[in-house]
Structure 1
């Protein structure tokens, strides 16, 4: 399947996985609308795109903990295009701390609002543009959701709470939107390598059995899911740690 003329929205696209998604989809021919907490951060991703693909990326500032900024992001994307074919909810506010007291009340609330609340509001405000598409998909980068995935993670309890809420929302959303033709996929990878799309690692060269899951592998899972016929619903991808 060609990705030419596909309209893709990616949140949290200033670095690591979100940045790799934006660059990857742009090089496949999609028109990509990326957001980060500030427009300057989003524009750094734009600057990394090579060749004509750079012309297909549009950068926006959007703090996912602020509902007004999410509404404005959706409005501005709507000024560029009458539809969105793929919404990738990648943005999340990371919070360190193995004890509840390791984070302030404000940090806890902001983490939950940006990760869980931000995902809900992104879907709410982009749903009209998704429904205008003939092939609408939503991808949620959940990654972690409970204590069984904690391991040696330094993530704060509030981050796990936010991810569990995000996962629950994705599950009910998949069920409720299915009849309208909007598919919802969620990814649950363990710790993975956030390689640059231009690096050797992105190309899958190496072969070390102990190496982490790669960004390229996750990106290709998303591409695979989006490429499937419209009557194929893949609710989630769960990955085992190596």
Structure 2
């Protein structure tokens, strides 16, 4: 059983919180007693997640417009968060842009968006919020990577830009860990496989733990990996690969 006691009252910034895994993380963290700050490109989607959190937990959540692919947007979000908060306990770098492989040439703007969101934007957001993290008694950075970011990983259906961006994002997590050695701040990383998108409270979420070997992983599996990692004793840092036969490192996709 995962003890969530040390998450009570924690301030958590979640990028890419408007849908999918980011939304599931935000809802689950609120249910664990955290105060999520929802960041993402689509304000309407973020406000929908905020409404879900309010209905399920009674927790009021802040919404911050953030486009990780745009350095100016990252700077505005950092400025806003610094003005409104003295401390951030947990930063979840979940925001990224998916780009599937294609027989057609990728447009320059979509290539730059994928790389900038995963690498430049993620770094600038983390760097900008570092003073607020250093003010916490339990500061953690969690990077949501990908099996695509692992050495020798099969490219499967991903595009080369996404594959390369996720490899660089894994390097960011490792770089943060080295940079922050000897400080209270931990750099944790979770590498998911391809996922089925299930929502907290839905039947598919409740049944996720009953899936058999050979079935795909779900958002819930990644949420539980994150909760496990951030609730370990402070002297323990984790890098977790979540795998599955279908959609995992050795899948035949």
TM-score if structure 2 supplies the norm length?
A: 0.88
The structural deviation recorded for 1:125 is 0.6
Determine if contact 2:26/2:36 at 8 Å carries over to the other structure.
Answer: yes
Task: State how far apart, in whole Å, the 1-side matches of 2:237 and 2:116 are.
Answer: 28
1:106 and 2:112 are equivalent in the alignment = no
Aligned to 2:202: 199
Task: State how far apart, in whole Å, the 2-side matches of 1:182 and 1:222 are.
Answer: 16
Determine if contact 1:11/1:35 at 8 Å carries over to the other structure.
Answer: yes
Aligned to 1:13: 17
Aligned to 2:101: 97
Helix, strand or coil for the counterpart of 2:143? strand
The structural deviation recorded for 1:178 is 2.2
RMSD: 1.8
Helix, strand or coil for the counterpart of 1:170? helix
Task: State how far apart, in whole Å, the 1-side matches of 2:72 and 2:214 are.
Answer: 44
Determine if contact 2:155/2:163 at 8 Å carries over to the other structure.
Answer: no
Aligned to 1:160: 163
Aligned to 2:136: 133
> Please, which runs of 5 or more residues in structure 1 have no aligned partner?
none
Determine if contact 2:40/2:66 at 8 Å carries over to the other structure.
Answer: yes
1:70 and 2:74 are equivalent in the alignment = yes
Q: Which one of 82, 86, 89 corresponds to residue 85 of structure 1?
A: 89
The structural deviation recorded for 1:205 is 5.1
Aligned to 2:37: 33
* Change beyond 3 A, Cα 1:102–1:60: same
What are the within-5 Å matches in structure 2 for residues 218-237 of structure 1? 218-234=222-238, 236-237=239-240
> Please, which runs of 5 or more residues in structure 2 have no aligned partner?
246-253
User: Which stretch of structure 1 is more off in the superposition, 13-22 or 220-229?
Assistant: 220-229
Determine if contact 2:10/2:34 at 8 Å carries over to the other structure.
Answer: yes
1:211 and 2:185 are equivalent in the alignment = no
Aligned to 2:251: none
Aligned to 2:26: 22
Aligned to 2:177: 174
TM-score if structure 1 supplies the norm length?
A: 0.91
Task: State how far apart, in whole Å, the 1-side matches of 2:36 and 2:44 are.
Answer: 16
Helix, strand or coil for the counterpart of 1:56? coil
Helix, strand or coil for the counterpart of 1:140? strand
The structural deviation recorded for 1:74 is 1.9
